[in-house]
Structure 1
Amino acid sequence: MAALFVRFQAPVRNARGHFPGVFALANGLGRSGRLVGAERRFWQDGNDWYEANLTDPSKVDPSVYDRSLNPGATAWFKSTAGEVLDRVAGYLDLLSVHEVACERIESPNPGKVVYEDEHQVVVVPEDL
């Protein structure tokens, strides 16, 4: 049986104790100045595409990532997210070139859903 939800994240926790997702990892490269030329254009164009085609849950519900209300909240793609999910491959390639580890994890139940739309859910992991 295929997993219903997919997440791409760092394999190790950051200083706040979270596993940064694929976009946070790529944005870290971009904001640090490590991306140049075609890589930078890909990152900027990709972020623009996601801005236009994927809802930012925090713009719908500003409390969704509130650390006290939803500790450890993370976004997961639905396996049915089509192009929204397919386009992550370019980000994974970018991270790989820069030797930034990112793993794919799948789960039929990643946690308590605090936000949902057609492409994604935001969940609070049940192990916190």
Structure 2
Amino acid sequence: MNVRYLRIQVRYAGKTGKPVGIFGACWHLLRNNRLSEEESTNFLAVNEWFKEQLPEPPFYQDGNPNRAITWFKVGSSQEMVTELQPLMDLLDKYHVQYDIVFSNYPGTIIYEDEYQVGVF
């Protein structure tokens, strides 16, 4: 059976009560002034690329009342997962433990597009 979804998440929970995703973890590093100027610039460039390429689930615009999280679809998002490598490198450099989690059943799907699902 082929795995359908993947998520890169750290080993601490956020306001959703679930593990923080890779973008949230990198934002934490940035906000805590742990990144160099070059690393900050690179992170913001990757973040901007994703904002241009990946649709934003509407629950983020509503303040995420369901405390949903997103998972990439395996296959259709391969280029996007490759683009995340610089962020994984940042987590490695700053010793932020993370996992690449695969699942066929990530939760109740409340949003879906070509590249991702939103679940709670």
Q: TM-score range by the shorter chain?
A: 0.7 to 0.9
Higher relative contact order (CA 8 A, sep 6+): 2
Structure with greater proportional strand content: 2
- Opposite residue 75 of structure 1, the aligned amino acid is T
Give the superposition deviation at 1:75.
Answer: 0.3
Q: TM-score scaled by structure 2?
A: 0.88
Unaligned stretches of 5+ residues in structure 1:
none
Unaligned stretches of 5+ residues in structure 2:
none
- Opposite residue 5 of structure 2, the aligned amino acid is F
**Contact residue 9 and residue 98 of structure 2 kept, 8 A:** yes
Give the superposition deviation at 1:33.
Answer: 1.5
Are 1:96 and 2:92 matched, yes or no? Answer: yes
- What does residue 65 of structure 1 align with? 64
Counterpart Cα distance in 2 of 1:84 and 1:99: 23
Within-5 A mapping of 1:10-89: 10-14=10-14, 17-58=17-58, 62-63=61-62, 65-66=64-65, 70=66, 72-80=67-75, 81-89=77-85
Counterpart Cα distance in 2 of 1:82 and 1:17: 27
Aligned-CA RMSD value: 2.0
Counterpart Cα distance in 1 of 2:38 and 2:23: 18
Residue identity over aligned pairs, in percent, reads: 29
Q: TM-score scaled by structure 1?
A: 0.83
Give the superposition deviation at 1:55.
Answer: 1.1
> What is the number of residues matched between the two proteins?
119
SS at 1:20 equivalent: strand
